């Protein structure tokens, strides 16, 4: 805790609310500069999704025995933070709708507890990663070293401490009255306006990407867990993909426990596991796929385990999806809104002028729209269920008598950038890249083949779809058994 925060904390214990100015300041500060906010998320749905995810975590832990299972339970996910988060968002919404001294005190206490749980979760994962002996993990777009990953998780914990210090000072401004130590509302408003400035427009996808999108969309709809796919593309700067711009669709995965999970369906290129070159000892699942006549299996490179930074890209998608969803749900739309809904490709540059204009209104609805754009965490319950869907496959694989090696699983399937909401600036204001080094790894090292430079030359689209359909049928048998 900083010296200023410590002094503020001591002062709070010795005084009560001084006047209404402090209350007004606290409310407006949290409206302009929220801390740990997930606007556009239904807290009740999030509670259910978190319970499902943690139940799945317990099931996965059982696959690894007592010692390793305990480590999975204690550090794979930030369980206590995720449990507290829905209540925090509910209290934040109540505070903004009904400002009062008692609501401020209740919200402040919940916020501090939630930040503490976030810090504890990040520290526990850092300790777990420090104990791993893997030299590194290679991804399509870069590499990760366990010790460096652990160090970055500690930086994330430190960022949470800084947010707690900010809240301590802010609460003192409520309790003792506004003073020079309180960040001016004018400064907070200016920072908000800067964040709403229209970003540089990204180029339209090339003809090669368009062709890949057509195939990827067809393949996503063949997935055993397919539920829905957005009929528009989203473009955003990539935190994962090897090209500077990611083009993706919102892919919704069916789950056995209720709400679908929202995932990234990246369509820049199409990737496939090379079943013929799967090294021994390979899963019996692969042998079955080969015997059935498949030599490839589609791999959505947008799955959370395909990139340590996948949570950033999930929230980039969420910024656009969240705003568009709110516009689409309006009972009546303006010409500008109808034009946005008709776009086949959406990006922040399309939405920024509309959102900036909305920010001048004080209505709760328009303020939520602005926060959806800035935070990217609308329908966070669906993102949680996307994580559920990805790690449910560990149980599917177990049905084939094949398990993912423990250390690899702890590195690749902790989903830290997603579950710690690293792309949401109200949690970690400055981006912390979880890659140790950004570089393009050879596809052969990852047992992958791609469509644009490889399979499109040697295999027609109909044959690709046929083989993937065969591979999926084999997976579906075990997938359904794990439900």
Q: What is the pLDDT of residues 15-60, one digit of tens each?
A: 445 557 899 999 999 999 999 999 999 999 999 999 999 999 999 9
Query: What mean pLDDT comes out for the span 96-116?
Result: 97
Q: What is the pLDDT of residues 190-249, one digit of tens each?
A: 999 999 999 999 999 999 999 999 999 999 999 989 999 999 999 999 999 889 999 999
pLDDT score of 9:
42
284 has a pLDDT exceeding 60: yes
pTM over 0.85? The answer is yes
7 has a pLDDT exceeding 70: no
pLDDT score of 392:
83
pLDDT score of 1:
54
Q: What is the pLDDT of residues 334-356, one digit of tens each?
A: 999 999 999 999 999 999 999 99
Q: What is the pLDDT of residues 298-325, one digit of tens each?
A: 999 999 999 999 999 999 999 999 999 9
Q: Distance between CA 253 and CA 39 in Å, rounded?
A: 22
List, in order, residues 6 or more apart from 294 with CB less than 8 Å away. 275, 467, 468, 470, 471, 474
Query: What mean pLDDT comes out for the span 387-394?
Result: 88
More confident residue, 258 or 144: 144
pLDDT score of 481:
60
pLDDT band at residue 278 under the 50/70/90 scheme: confident
More confident residue, 405 or 426: 426
pLDDT band at residue 2 under the 50/70/90 scheme: low
pLDDT band at residue 257 under the 50/70/90 scheme: confident
pLDDT band at residue 478 under the 50/70/90 scheme: confident
pLDDT score of 13:
40
pLDDT score of 482:
53
135 has a pLDDT exceeding 80: yes
pLDDT band at residue 11 under the 50/70/90 scheme: very low
pLDDT band at residue 273 under the 50/70/90 scheme: very high
pLDDT score of 401:
65
93 has a pLDDT exceeding 50: yes
Share of the chain above pLDDT 90, in %: 83
Query: What mean pLDDT comes out for the span 400-414?
Result: 87
pLDDT score of 394:
81
424 has a pLDDT exceeding 70: yes
List, in order, residues 6 or more apart from 409 with CB less than 8 Å away. 64, 72, 394
More confident residue, 475 or 232: 232
Per the prediction, the chain carries an average pLDDT of 92
């Amino acid at each position: 805790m900083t010296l200023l925060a410590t002094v503020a904390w001591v002062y709070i214990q010795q005084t009560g609310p001084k006047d209404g100015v402090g209350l007004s300041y606290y409310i407006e500060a949290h409206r302009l500069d929220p801390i740990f906010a997930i606007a556009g998320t239904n807290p009740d749905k999030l509670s259910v999704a978190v319970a499902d995810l943690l139940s799945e975590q317990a099931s996965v832990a059982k696959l690894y025995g007592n010692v390793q299972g305990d480590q999975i339970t204690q550090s794979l996910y930030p369980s206590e933070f995720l449990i507290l988060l829905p209540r925090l968002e509910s209290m934040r919404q109540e505070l903004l709708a009904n400002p009062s001294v008692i609501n401020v005190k209740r919200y402040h206490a919940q916020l501090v507890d939630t930040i503490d749980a976030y810090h504890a979760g990040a520290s526990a994962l850092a300790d777990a990663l420090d104990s791993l002996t893997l030299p590194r993990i290679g991804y399509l777009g870069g590499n990760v070293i366990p010790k460096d990953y652990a160090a970055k998780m500690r930086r994330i914990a430190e960022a949470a401490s800084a947010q707690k210090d900010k809240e301590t000072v802010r609460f003192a401004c409520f309790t003792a009255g506004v003073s020079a130590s309180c960040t001016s509302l004018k400064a907070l408003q200016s920072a908000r306006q800067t964040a709403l400035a229209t970003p540089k427009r990204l180029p339209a996808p090339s003809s090669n990407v368009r062709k890949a999108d057509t195939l990827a969309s067809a393949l996503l709809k063949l997935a055993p867990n397919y539920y829905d796919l957005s009929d528009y593309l989203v473009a955003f700067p990539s935190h994962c993909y090897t090209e500077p711009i990611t083009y993706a669709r919102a892919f919704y995965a069916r789950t056995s426990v209720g709400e679908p999970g929202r995932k990234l369906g990246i369509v820049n290129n199409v990737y496939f596991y090379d079943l013929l070159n799967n090294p021994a000892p390979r899963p019996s699942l692969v042998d079955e796929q080969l015997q059935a006549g498949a030599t490839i299996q589609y791999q959505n490179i947008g799955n959370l385990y395909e990139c340590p930074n996948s949570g950033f890209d999930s929230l980039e998608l969420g910024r656009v999806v969240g705003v568009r969803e709110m516009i689409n749900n309006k009972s009546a739309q303006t010409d500008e809104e109808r034009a946005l809904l008709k776009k086949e490709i959406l990006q922040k540059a399309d939405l920024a002028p509309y959102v900036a204009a909305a920010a001048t209104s004080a209505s709760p609805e328009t303020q939520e729209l602005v926060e959806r754009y800035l935070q990217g965490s609308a329908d966070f319950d669906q993102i949680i269920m996307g994580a559920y869907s990805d790690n449910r496959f560990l149980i599917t694989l177990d049905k084939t008598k094949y398990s993912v090696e423990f250390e690899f699983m702890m590195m690749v399937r902790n989903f830290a950038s997603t579950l710690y909401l690293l792309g949401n600036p109200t949690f970690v204001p400055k981006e912390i890249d979880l890659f140790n080094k950004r570089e393009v790894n050879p596809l052969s090292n990852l047992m992958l083949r791609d469509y644009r430079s490889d399979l499109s030359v040697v295999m027609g689209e109909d044959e690709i779809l046929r083989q993937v359909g065969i591979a999926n049928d084999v997976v579906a048998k075990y997938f359904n058994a794990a439900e």
